[in-house]
Amino acid sequence: MIFGSLQTLAAFVITLGILVSIHEFGHFWVARKCGVKVLRFSVGFGKPLWTWTDRLGTEYVVALIPLGGYVKMLDEREGPVAESERHESFNSKPVLSRIAIVAAGPIANFILAVFALWLMYMAGIRTIVPQVGSVLPDSPAAVAGIIPGDEIVSIDGEETPGWQQVNLELLSSIGDTRNLSVATRAGVPGELSSAAVRNKTVAISDWLVDDSGDGIADPVRALGIEPYTPLIPAVLGELSPDGAARAAGLQAGDRILTSNGQPVKDWLSWVQVIRANAGKTIQVELEREGRRLNLALTPGTRELNGEPSGYIGAGVQQVGWPDDMVRKLQFNPVAALPKALDSTWTLTSMTVESLWKMVAGLVSVKNLSGPITIAKVAGASLQSGLENFLYFLSMLSVSLGVLNLLPIPVLDGGHLLFYLIELVRGKPVSERVQVLGLKIGVTFVVGIMMLALYNDLSRLF
C-alpha cells in the first residue's frame, strides 16, 4: 500500500515536472530570444530545494511544492529597474514580442504532445481489437443492428483499430443529438473474420448529458455494448497471507471445478459464488497438478454496496488475449510524424469542444479532475507501460496548452487578450481594467480548482 502510494506520488511529480518545465521553458527561450532578461526559472513553488545561477544571471530553482512553476523576468511593473537594464525589461519590448513570449508556453505544450505521440507511434502501441461481446436489448446499439461478434471498424469515417480510438470518437459526440455512422465487420466473439464492412446508423440524443455516474463517462457501455473479453478460467493467482483461501489450504494455480457440487465455468461464476456465501462454508472441488482435491472454504464477510458480501483474499491468474485480438501499430520516424500531428489535433479539438459543452451545460462539471485524479492516472499509466504514459502525457500537455490559452486574466490567454487589444488600440489597456480582470481571473481559477478538488475527493470516497 505504501509502495503503491509512493509510486503514484512519484509518477505525479514526474508528469507535472515534465509539463511545467516544458511550458516554462517556452516562455524562457522566447524571452531570451527577444532580449528580455530572465531573473528566475522555477519548477515548483515554495522553499527552494536546489538552485543554480548561470553566467547571464538567471537563477534556476527546483522548489518544494510541485504544483506549477514560473519564469520571472525583469519588469518595471514589479520593481525598480536600473537605467542600464531597462532595454532588457519585459514591459519595454514591443507588443508583438510580448505576445510571442506569452504564447510560447502553451505552444511548447502542443509541441511536447506531438513529440510524445511521435515517440509512442515509433515505439509501437498494442491495442485490443474493438469486438463486441454482448449487446443490451433495446439499447442504441441493438436498435442499429449491432450484434455480438461485430468489430467496430470506424465511427463517422474515422478508423478505430482499438477500443481507445472508439472511446475517443464517442466522447467527441457528448451532448450531441444526431446519427452516428458506425462501420462494423461481422464475426464470432473471439474469432475475427474477413466479412464485408457494413455501415450502421446509431441514433443518439443528448448523448451522455444525463450521465449520473461519477463524471467519468463510459461511452461504449452507454451505447449498450459490452466489449468482448476472453473467457477467464477459475484459476487462483496470488493469495493474501491472512485470507480465507490460504486458511482453507488453497494454493496459487488451483483450478476451481465445482462449488457444493455445482460446476464453476469461469472466474466470474466463482466470484459470484464467493460473494453470495459470506460466512457460509462451501465444499470446493479443485484440480491441482493433475490431482483432484476437496476442501471446505468459509468466505469472510465485508460490506459491498450496503450488503454483506463474501471474500477469500485471492486474485485471478492472469490470462493473455488471443494473438489475433491484439494489434500492434508501429510506424517509422517519417510516418509517425503525421500520425502524431493528427492525434494532437484530435486531442486539441476534443478538449476545446468539451470545455465549450461544459460551459453550455452539455457536459457535467463532474468531468473536471484535480491533482488527486491526475496522480492516480499518472501512476496507473506509468505502471502499464511507456506507450500509455506517453499518451497520458500528451493528453495532459494538450489540456494544459488549451486551458492556458483561455482568455481569462491570470492565465496566458488573459495576458494575450490584453496585448491583442493593445495591438489594435495602439496603447495598453488601463491599469484599472487589468487589476479588475486579474481579480476576476483569480476568483474564477480558484473556483475551478476547488471544484476539481471536490470531484477528486468525491471519487476517492
Residue 191 DSSP symbol: B
* Cα-Cα end-to-end distance for the chain: 17
Q: How far is CA 323 from CA 126, 186, 187, 191, 319, in A?
A: 11, 19, 16, 11, 12
Residue 289 DSSP symbol: T
**Measured distance CA(184)–CA(140) in Å, rounded:** 15
DSSP line for 47-69? EEEEEEE-TTSPEEEEEEEEEEE
Residue among 24, 151, 169, 387 flagged as catalytic: 24
Cβ-in-10-Å burial (0-12, 13-18, 19+) of 145 comes to: middle
Residue 213 DSSP symbol: S
Contacting residues for 391 by C-beta, under 8 A, at least 6 apart: 116, 117, 120, 125, 164, 381
Q: How far is CA 130 from CA 80, 159, 320, 351, in A?
A: 62, 11, 16, 24
User: Cell triple for residue 26?
Assistant: 517556452
CB of 326 closer than 8 Å to CB of 129: yes
* Residue 156 CA to its chain's centroid (Å): 23
User: Is residue 85 annotated as part of the catalytic site, yes or no?
Assistant: no
What amino acid occupies position 185? R
CB of 446 closer than 8 Å to CB of 438: no
What amino acid occupies position 422? E
Of 392, 390, 362, the C-alpha closest to 375 is 392
* Cell 493433475 -> residue: 290
Residues annotated catalytic, as ranges: 24
